[in-house]
Amino acid sequence: MKENIGFIGLGLLGLPVAANLLQAGYALTVYNRTAAKAEPLVAQGALHATRPADVVTAGGIVVTLVWDDDALEGVVRSEDFLERLGPCGIHVSMSTVSPDTGRKLADLHARHGSVYVEAPVFGRPEAAAAKQLWIPVAGPQEAKERVRPVLEAMGARGIFDFGEEAGTAVLVKLIGNFLIVSAARSLEEALGMAERGGVDPQAAVNMLTSTLFSAPIYQTYGKMIAEKTATISQSKIPQKDVGLFLAAAQNAQFPAPLASQLLDMLEGVDRSRQ
């Protein structure tokens, strides 16, 4: 028998991920700060909670997919969230947050007898709908085994285990996002140069992403940038995640000059004039 799942965070990615769980036969209780975003899931049979703690079942599984560190901590520390989760309860955090936050929340859960599992997501909303997500995970082994069927039902094409220490899976996510943003920013510059030089950007990106740069990231973002349907500056995610990557590097006393320059670009900072 499938477990009842609590799900918090129904944004662009959370909504299709939660819908996949419903389609897989899981019973869901959902919460979102903007209640109207829960309506499509309620129409499919999900229950709607009016506060985060109300999605929690004692000893059960609750999933969060929220914007940032503050939002995640706000959920965990809200009212009786941890008390309700209790012994044998598992919190699966799919948010992109700092490794320090992951470690802090893992310790906080342990003090309440519950378990914190990191499972940040690689994939755009359309990839979630197509069940083509990649998910790195970290946390206690028994808990990871228990939530694996849930992650698979969410749309995971691949699940990659990075051990039991909190902070490792989100670090992999930050590394991946740094590389994604770097690739997308390079594509914007390269295809802008192609257009300025009289080369059809779509023809250039078609050739390059079918030969030298055939990775899905180059193919997906290259097409979007060539068609001018998206740019890095249209989203707040790159700035947030590159900032988290740089902060993690600074905490580890690891030089990250490319990340520093990339963050300046995203923030519109010109250091040469300072």
Say whether 240 is catalytic: no
Structure token pair of residue 48: 């709607």
- The DSSP 8-state label assigned to residue 62 in this structure reads E
Query: Closest Cα partner for 255 from 246, 268, 242, 265?
Result: 246
Which of 113, 141, 163 delimits the end of a domain? 163
Domain tally, the chain: 2
**Is residue 25 domain-shared with residue 155, that is, in the same domain?**
yes
Domain extent, residue 196, equals 171-273
- In the predicted model, residues of the chain with pLDDT beneath 70 are 233, 269-274
pTM of the model: 0.95
Show which of 147, 163, 179 is a domain's final residue. 163
Residues 71 and 188 in one domain: no
Do 136 and 261 sit in the same domain of this protein? Answer: no
Q: Which of 131, 146, 163 is the last residue of a domain?
A: 163
Would you state the pLDDT for residue 224?
A: 92
Q: Is 67 exposed, middle or buried (0-12, 13-18, 19+ CB in 10 A)?
A: middle
Asked if 152 and 179 sit in the same domain, the reply is no
What's the confidence (pLDDT) of residue 269?
A: 64
> Is residue 100 located within the same domain as residue 212?
no
Sign, CA torsion 158/165/98/66: positive
187 with 117, same domain: the answer is: no
- Quick one: 64 and 86 in the same domain? yes
- Tell me which DSSP letter residue 87 carries: T
Residue 274, pLDDT score = 44
Q: Is the dihedral of CA 128, 134, 139, 144 positive or negative?
A: positive
My answer on whether 106 and 177 are in the same domain is no
Q: Which of 144, 173, 236, 240 is catalytic?
A: 173
Residues 126, 245, single domain; the answer is no
- Asked whether residue 250 falls in the same domain as residue 130, the answer is no
Same domain, yes or no, for 155 and 179? no
On whether both 44 and 140 belong to a single domain, the answer is yes
pLDDT of residue 273: 42
